[in-house]
Amino acid sequence: MTESALNLGDIVNLDDYPISDRSNRVRQTLIDRCRADLETSLCCVIPNFIQPSALEAMAAEAIGLEKGAYHNNSLRNCYLHRAQDASLPADHPRNLQDRSSVRMIAYDQIPPASPLKVFYHADAVRELVADIVAQGELFDNEDPYQPANYVCYRDGDESSWHFDADNSFTMTLMVQPAEDGGDFEMSPNTRSNDDQNYQHVGQVLRGERADTVRSIGREPGALCIFRGCNALHRVSPVHGNTLRIMGVFVYEFSPGLVGDPEVNATIYGARTQ
């Protein structure tokens, strides 16, 4: 598989998922199943979505780029804030902090012909995701760093419990799992748009509501779409020498959107194009 010859069939398992054919009943069945899963559990998983050769190419690419990744290592609360609020009790969820350690490979560091970028920019992929989340047309993010990233975890890295800030949905691809650990865990419907539900959030953060926590299976090639804005989620500590590699993608509901440069600096490091 050469970079210059990549097309959607080189990357997506079109035999099982004929996503380019909008009239195909298999495509519609997939959409219906994913919509139902999002409605009930805020998460849907499409297994074996990516061709093995494309996964191998993505993993090799990320491993080669990882030395230039930004190591985002900090204490934060589940709302992605690093500062505590002295006006609130010490055990309030906004004051409960935990360590997050991940290594970010930004969009501008990834070659233009990367299978990750070809996948992200494919009309058929974007249209499928739009049909699944059912909130209108989607557009590519136009930020220099955000649209498609590799997120890597070495031994000891983890992503602490958090909500995704303003995203109505999050889209990730498992490229390479860890030898051990690195489990994607979620507590669905931890809060709602109308109720922050601080008592329940605090219970999950303190490990008192394990009954609400699901471990989402993520085999290589599985695409996951989830509503992380209202579901606490985390990646448990990674163990072993195998780099855990995720693809993370950002689509928008309006064209031309870019991120806040100050926020980007906290995620990708303080640098310029």
Q: Where are the domains of the chain?
A: 3-268
Q: With b meaning 16 or more CB within 10 Å and e meaning fewer, what string describes 55-79? A: bebbbebbbebeeebbebeeebbbe
Longest dimension (CA), the chain: 58
Could you confirm whether domain 3-268 is CATH 2.60.120.620? yes
Token pair in block for residue 269 = 């490091």
Q: What is the pLDDT along the chain (273 residues), one digit of tens a residue?
A: 434 469 999 999 999 999 999 999 999 999 999 999 999 989 999 999 999 999 999 999 999 999 999 999 999 999 989 899 999 999 999 999 999 999 999 999 999 999 999 999 999 999 999 999 999 999 999 999 999 999 999 999 999 999 987 778 999 999 999 999 999 999 998 999 899 999 999 999 999 999 999 999 779 999 999 999 999 999 999 999 999 999 999 999 999 999 889 888 889 998 755
Closest by CA to 114, choosing from 58, 49, 64, is 58
